[in-house]
A = this chain, B = another copy of it.
Amino acid sequence: VSAGRKFAIVVAIAASGLAGLIASLTVAGASATESREAIDQLKAEYARPGAVPHPEDNAFTPERERLGRMLFFDPRLSGSGWISCASCHNPGLSWGDGLPRAIGHGMQQLGRRTPTVLNLAWAEALFWDGRADTLEQQALGPIEAAGEMNLPLDEMVKRLEHIPGYEPHFDRAYPGEAISPETVAKAIATFERGIVSGEAPFDRWVAGREDAMSAAAQRGFVLFNGKAGCHACHAGWRLTNDSFHDIGVAGEDVGRGALLPPGMDVGRFAFKTPTLRNVALRAPYMHDGSIATLEDVVDLYNRGGVVKRPSLSPDIKPLELTAAEQHDLVAFMKTLTSHDPEARVPALPR
């Protein structure tokens, strides 16, 4: 993807995010004080989708998912033979690693936090800076990155070809195709698309069970969509617009700015809006893990960010939330936690 196209995307999405913010503030401003109908309208924006989308050129089959699961859990996809995708995207930690910043090959600490792989079937941009458009594009990056899994892709293919047990799985998943970076990426992407957060208290509330959320969390929902304006970016059932914003976190990492023409402000210090599904399970927060708790995250927004830069998103300004309102927002975010089936570690081919 060219820098030019990426630039077009970030500007377009940033603009739609702003429009969404204005619309939502209007709707929710009314709903908080006036009507249950307005809340029901808001709820409709968060309805869960019916089915997981898979792309036409990599349609779902159980064989592809099974192969992808093996590859995801296989440490032989790293130079050391010791690091798998699951080493950092740990199913026990909501598919992240619980660390401020990721650790990779040689256990060197990397610059950014491990993002979750939860609910990426619907994602329009991958990595914190959105440098990949699809899971297929994303999957190979960490495998070959010297600081992450550190395995050149030609070496990866050779290794897999020398594990006899893999051959029938590739044959069944991608008949007539060779073991290649493309088939590896497709299989992993297929597995990842199946990693979907389950029904949470919030979903039961959206579906009409009034007692599924506390009064505090319900007030938090209204704030989220109104005074606090969170849903301008944390939109839809995944609670992300897949766009990029500078929200005023301190630090030198320009994020998406590195993909854009130099000298412009939009996109500098901008990072992808993360999903808030199961967010209570994924501390610490932000692209650099610099914020320890959800309470501190709300505090950051309440202050309108800690760093005022020309690139700061126009959505970011002091919210003037009371302590009680901040508490309610956190209570709402905690209703997004689902208790999902435990991930199973497959027997790896030998």
Q: Using a CB–CB distance below 8 Å, which chain A residues touch chain B? A: 70, 73-76, 80-82, 87, 90-94, 97-99, 103, 105-107, 280-281, 283, 339-340, 342-348, 350
Give the CA-CA distance A80 to B347 in the complex, in Å: 27
* Cβ contacts under 8 Å, A73 to chain B: 92
Give the CA-CA distance A138 to B266 in the complex, in Å: 56
A345 to chain B, nearest CB (A): 5
A–B complex contacts, Cβ < 8 Å, 5 sampled: A73-B92, A75-B90, A75-B93, A92-B347, A344-B344
**Identical chains bound together, number:** 2
A166 to chain B, nearest CB (A): 13
Give the CA-CA distance A280 to B87 in the complex, in Å: 25
Give the CA-CA distance A87 to B107 in the complex, in Å: 13
Give the CA-CA distance A93 to B163 in the complex, in Å: 13
Interface centre among A80, A97, A283, A350 (most CB of B within 10 A): A350
Inter-subunit contact B82/A87 (CB<8 Å): yes
Closest residue on chain B to residue A91 by CB atoms: B345
* Cβ contacts under 8 Å, A97 to chain B: 75, 81-82
Do A107 and B92 contact each other (CB < 8 Å), given the known contacts A340-B347, A345-B345? no
Give the CA-CA distance A106 to B106 in the complex, in Å: 6
Closest residue on chain B to residue A73 by CB atoms: B92
Give the CA-CA distance A347 to B281 in the complex, in Å: 9
Inter-subunit contact A345/B90 (CB<8 Å): yes
Give the CA-CA distance A93 to B75 in the complex, in Å: 10
Give the CA-CA distance A343 to B340 in the complex, in Å: 16
A-B residue pairs, 3 tightest by C-beta? A342-B344, A92-B348, A91-B345
A217 to chain B, nearest CB (A): 18
Closest residue on chain B to residue A344 by CB atoms: B342
Inter-subunit contact A80/B98 (CB<8 Å): no
Give the CA-CA distance A70 to B91 in the complex, in Å: 12
* Cβ contacts under 8 Å, A107 to chain B: 80, 82, 105-107
Residue in contact with A92 in the complex, picked from B74, B93, B281, CB distance below 8 Å: B74
